[in-house]
Amino acid sequence: MSERETKPLQASAATWLGFALMCLGMFMAILDIQVVATSLPTIQDALAISRDAMSWIQTAYLIAEIIAIPLTGWLTRGLTLRWLFVAAITLFTAASIGCAFSGNFAILISFRVLQGFAGGTLIPAVFSAVFLLFPVRQHPIATTMAGIMAVLAPTVGPVVGGWITETWSWHWLFLINVAPGILAAVATPVLLPRAQPRFADLATLDGISLALMATSLASLEIGLKQAPHDGWLSPQCAPLLALSAAAAIGFAVRTLRARHPLVDLSTFRTRSFAIGCALSFCLGIGLFGSVYLMPVFLAYVRRHDAFEIGTIMLVTGVAQLLAAPIAGSLESRFDPRWLSALGFALFALGLGSSALQSRVADFDEMFWPQVLRGVAIMFCLLPPTRLALGALTEAAVPDASGLFNLMRNLGGAIGIALIDTILYGRTVGHAEALRDRLVAGDVTAAQAIGLDLNLFLHRPPDVSDAAVEAYVRPLVERAAFALSTNEAWALLAFAALLGLQLLESLAREFIEAPALHLGIEHFQGSAAGVDLVVMGEIGEAFENAKQLLVPRAAPDLHIAGTALRAERPEARQLVAAFWGRRDGEAAEGAHQVERLALASLPRILAEPDAHLVPFAKPFNDYFAAVQDAGQAVRHHLSIRPWTC
């Protein structure tokens, strides 16, 4: 009997509380990146760190995190979800204490690596828990909880970091993790469901695959960090990116051939999962890109401090909180493709609106674009998560969750690198163009940089050229930077539109089921020789399934359903409940219908009557078609497959 058959229809209160603590741990891990970023200059001064080395405080964390994320599946198989989380949150808490009491740069970097590795496993572990701990009907609630924590942390990070820096000392940027970490580490072993660890699975670690993966991801992260400053094809950057690509290819080839792969890449063959990962990548570009770009603009152009920046950015967080229950409710009732399309359309609109903002944009002008983005982000995260992970088996979920979250982080890293490339590369050109227009006496250029027109048109005679240049240069630089910022916003909007295009392709051709037609051809006209009472269970489900499949398959499904339908009241009732309601109860009914069909296979194939022997091969083919149809239904409604 499978775990799904024995899983209760309602998760216990202890499981929900344990999951809430898991979400809290993930929140702290994501928040840590943002709060530390706001106080890098303070840490630099306290530990006498050079300006060039300062960025490694963040880079060390991000490299360790991005390597740990895809390892979550392997660790989950060996340790179980419960003990993986306990180990990760314990290590994260201990590393946070080590960071707080670091006396020099080397020690701080060492603890940041440990902190990043632990934090990297917390994120996919939480999204795996949604599908491993809860029955289908409770997936929307659990996904909403995890989604809120995942996207709210980057948004509130600047205000939390700014407040801590101004109120306390930089040590508390790390010490705020201690109390929640200890609480989660102590309580979750008691609250989360128990499972038997399989330590033997840890012995299957492929060291070469791990080295290739770590080399690829670390080289990519460092290359993306260097590219905006040194150039993408520079001698410092190009070899790193080439090494990353070569190691990634070697890792993929070795992993796909391995008997015990470090990460199961074959999941990408599932179309909905591959599209979901692509959507996660696009979301990462827009989410992390916008969280990075707004503070840069507000600090350099508008001259706000960290706390003021965080206060302005709280609009996005409030919008996310208000939209989360709406998105969670709609997610259980509507096609995830259309909800995702709505999200990416709103996201593109919100990002594109910021691309039109003025040099003096502040809270009022940024308010509605932030609201649009805050609402959109929940629809860009929750439905794609269900689309990507909802139709997979429980065994596939941990690896798939790691890959899904990895794509979002990669999108963020690449998006920030592209933003920096625009800011560093385009600002100089905009500044030169503005300077040339000012020299030519262009009044609109003076207005664009905020120069007083009286001073521009009537220069005081006793003011030297050096004084004029010293006064005008900062105005030109900030105006040029604002123009580059708008171009970066346009880039992020394009990434959101790319996600919308991916959803359009998924809507046009949602299922490929070659076995469907083969099975129908074999079985048309053959049903009379097989137990119609048993076959009716499949036929009834198949007949009703045609309503959700692509139109070109509907006629064949109708023929098959008509030929195989029989009067089975219990199957008919379950199917009626399924198609009448789009909630968890109906989904459980669908699982029962599918189980009836699957259970009939051994009975028919083991039938000793000679007249059934000729139909064994056609039935196998037809059974494959049933599985394809069942997978199509689950992809449409993100109903998890029943496993016997």
Task: Give the CATH number of the domain where residue 186 resides.
Answer: 1.20.1250.20
**Final residue before a domain boundary, out of 205, 224, 246:** 205
Question: Would you state the pLDDT for residue 244?
Answer: 97
Greater confidence (560 vs 438) lies with 438
Residues 6+ apart with CB under 8 A from 579: 544, 547, 586
Does the pLDDT at position 389 exceed 90?
Answer: no
Residues 565 and 437 in one domain: no
pLDDT (0 to 100) of residue 255: 94
Q: Nearest to residue 305, comparing CAs of 166, 201, 433? A: 166
CA 235 to each of CA 217, 223, 550: distance values in angstroms, whole numbers, following the listed order: 19, 11, 51
482 and 520 belong to one structural domain: no
Task: Report the range of poorest mean pLDDT among 151-165, 191-205, 213-227, 351-365.
Answer: 151-165
Segment 377-400 mean pLDDT: 87
Residue 459 lies in a domain: yes
Residue 153 lies in a domain: yes
Residue 341 lies in a domain: no
Average pLDDT score over residue span 30-49: 84
CA–CA separation, 96 and 108 (whole Å): 10
**Interatomic CA distance for residues 620 and 622, integer angstroms:** 5
pLDDT for 606-631, tens place per residue? Answer: 443 333 344 344 444 444 545 554 45
Q: How confident is the model at residue 593 (pLDDT cuts 50, 70, 90)?
A: very low
CA separation for the pair 588, 61 (Å, rounded): 42
Q: Residue written as tokens 């979400």?
A: 23
Q: What percent of the chain has pLDDT over 70?
A: 76
- Most confidently modeled range among 58-67, 240-249, 267-276, 446-455: 240-249
Residue 523 and residue 482 share a domain: no
pLDDT, mean over the chain: 79
Give the pLDDT confidence of 241-251 residue by residue, as tens digits: 999 999 999 99
Residue 421 maps to a domain: no
Please indicate, yes or no, if residue 106 is contained in any of the structural domains: yes
pLDDT(643) > 80 = no
Do 523 and 483 share a structural domain? no
Q: How many residues does the chain have?
A: 644
The answer to whether position 498 is within a domain reads no
The reply to whether 180 and 67 lie within a common domain is yes
Q: From 144, 174, 205, give the residue that closes a domain.
A: 205
Nearest 5°: the CA angle 37, 38, 42 is 100
Residue in the structure block whose two tokens are 């890959």: 403
- Same domain? For 580 and 435 the reply is no
Q: Does the pLDDT of residue 515 top 60, yes or no?
A: no
Contact 587, 390 (CB under 8 A): no
Domain that holds residue 93: 1-205
Average pLDDT over residues 34-61: 82
| pLDDT confidence of residue 35 | 87
Domain identity same for 9 and 81: yes
615 and 542, same structural domain?
yes
pLDDT band of 233, cuts 50, 70, 90? very high
Rounded Cα distance, 242 and 464, in Å: 52
Residue burial 321-340, b: 16+ Cβ < 10 Å; e: rest: eebbeebbebbbeebbbebb
Regarding pTM above 0.75, the answer is: yes
Q: Rounded mean pLDDT of 87-100?
A: 96
What is the residue whose two structure tokens read 């139909």?
Answer: 615
Higher pLDDT, 359 or 628: 359
**Residue 168: pLDDT over 90:** no
Q: Which residues contact 315 (CB under 8 A, 6 or more apart)?
A: 363, 366, 367, 370, 371, 374
Is the pLDDT at 589 greater than 90, yes or no? Answer: no
Q: What is the dihedral of CA 286, 495, 633, 385, to 10 degrees?
A: -20
Q: Are residues 462 and 577 in the same domain?
A: no
Rounded to the nearest 10 degrees, the angle between the axes of helix 616-637 and helix 532-545 is: 30
In a domain, 194, yes or no: yes
CA distances from 397 to 152, 274, 277 (A): 24, 14, 13
Q: In this structure, are residues 266 and 256 in contact, taking their beta carbons and an 8 Å threshold?
A: yes
Q: What is the mean pLDDT of residues 24-36?
A: 91
Return the pLDDT at 160. Answer: 87
Claim to verify: residue 469 and residue 527 sit in the same structural domain: no
Average pLDDT over residues 437-450: 90
Residue 141 within a domain: yes
| Residues 544 and 612 reside in one and the same domain | yes
Q: For the chain, how many structural domains are there in total? A: 3
Task: Give the long-range contacts of residues 100-104, CB within 8 A, separation 24 or more.
Answer: 100/171, 100/172, 100/173, 100/174, 100/175, 101/171, 102/47, 103/47, 104/47
| Rounded alpha-carbon distances, angstroms, from residue 474 to 127, 296, 433 | 46, 16, 15
The encoded tokens of residue 451 equal 């120069």
Question: Do 453 and 523 belong to one domain?
Answer: no
Lowest mean pLDDT segment, chosen from 182-191, 342-351, 469-478: 469-478
Q: Which of 473, 489, 505 is the last residue of a domain?
A: 489
DSSP 266: G
